[in-house]
């Protein structure tokens, strides 16, 4: 994520889903008053960990480690969501993870795993840094208008020069047939060694009453925007709007859009 303020100001759908599902994940997990290590992987600007996970961390006298790959996001989080029981760090689960010697009892990853190309390797790394009996709870969005926009814009004559490597954001493990998500994700998790406690794959939607909010949300997490000259940002935003309105079957000048997406909620456990 590249722009923490823009993301925090426009993440209405992500905020709704976090408020609904992170408490459910917390409730499913077994908590112990024994100073557990909790990881919030892909903490972004810090609000989800601070608002939903930290109260449990305080209640059970534990510690929250919050990691993200984006320094701007971490700087924002440190300034706005600092707390004695939170340690922030920059890193990637697949390389340069900041706490190699820490084993975790709980791991959360909310709206993050759909950005990881080698999901199996990432899940193996999560598995290896967990204590036996530990819980891993996550949400992800395998299919959405936003993700398929990479192919359309990345192959266009206008933007392909700025979107080199867009293929890395069209993740092969997500290219499954409609209705097969539960089976595919189950097989991946079980092949790593996780026991599945809960797994839901559902179709969801969110109505954005302000199209600009929708566009700004996705621009805030677009990894290619930094490669596009600033004076071309309005044109890129218009083309993104043109794509999503065409895909949704609504007029270009619509002020509302119903975003439809596939949503995954999972809680898994490393065997004792």
**Strands 86-90, 104-110: pairing kind:** unpaired
Q: What was the pLDDT predicted at 9?
A: 67
Q: What is the pLDDT of residues 1-59, one digit of tens each?
A: 456 776 766 667 788 899 999 999 999 999 987 789 999 999 999 999 999 999 999 99
Q: What was the pLDDT predicted at 11?
A: 67
What value does the mean pLDDT take over residues 55-69? 96
What value does the mean pLDDT take over residues 104-130? 93
Q: What is the pLDDT of residues 145-198, one digit of tens each?
A: 666 788 889 999 999 999 998 877 766 676 677 788 899 999 999 999 999 999
Domain carrying residue 237 = 4-269
pLDDT band at 251 (very low <50, low <70, confident <90, very high): very high
- CATH code of 71's domain: 3.40.50.150
Question: What is the rounded distance in angstroms from the CA atom of residue 219 to the CA atom of residue 7?
Answer: 9
Q: What was the pLDDT predicted at 6?
A: 67
Q: Answer whether 57's CB lies under 8 Å from 28's CB.
A: no
pLDDT band at 86 (very low <50, low <70, confident <90, very high): very high
User: Please, is 97 exposed, middle or buried when counting C-beta atoms within 10 Å of its C-beta (0-12, 13-18, 19+)?
Assistant: middle
Structure tokens at 121: 């390797």
- Domain total in the chain: 1
């Amino acid at each position: 994520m590249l722009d923490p303020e823009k993301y925090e100001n426009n993440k209405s759908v992500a905020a709704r889903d976090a408020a609904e599902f992170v408490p459910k994940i917390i409730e499913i997990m077994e908590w112990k008053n024994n100073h557990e290590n909790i990881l919030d992987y892909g903490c972004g600007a810090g609000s989800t960990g601070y608002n939903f996970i930290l109260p449990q961390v305080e209640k059970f006298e534990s510690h929250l480690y919050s990691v993200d790959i984006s320094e701007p996001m971490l700087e924002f989080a440190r300034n706005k969501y600092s707390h004695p029981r939170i340690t922030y760090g920059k890193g990637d689960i697949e390389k340069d993870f900041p706490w190699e010697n820490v084993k975790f009892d709980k791991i959360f990853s909310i709206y993050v795993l759909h950005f990881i190309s080698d999901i199996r390797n990432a899940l193996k790394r999560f598995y290896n840094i967990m204590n036996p009996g530990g819980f891993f709870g996550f949400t992800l969005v395998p299919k959405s208008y936003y993700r398929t926009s990479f192919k359309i814009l990345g192959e266009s004559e206008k933007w392909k020069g700025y979107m080199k490597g867009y293929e890395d954001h069209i993740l092969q493990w997500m290219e499954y047939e409609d209705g097969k998500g539960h089976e595919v994700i189950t097989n991946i998790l079980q092949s790593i060694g996780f026991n599945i406690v809960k797994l839901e794959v559902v179709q969801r939607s969110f109505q954005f009453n302000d199209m600009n909010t929708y566009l700004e949300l996705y621009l805030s997490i677009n990894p290619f925007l930094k490669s596009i000259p600033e004076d071309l940002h309005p044109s890129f935003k218009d083309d993104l709007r043109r794509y999503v309105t065409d895909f949704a079957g609504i007029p270009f000048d619509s002020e509302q859009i119903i975003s439809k997406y596939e949503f995954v909620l999972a809680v898994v456990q490393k065997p004792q």
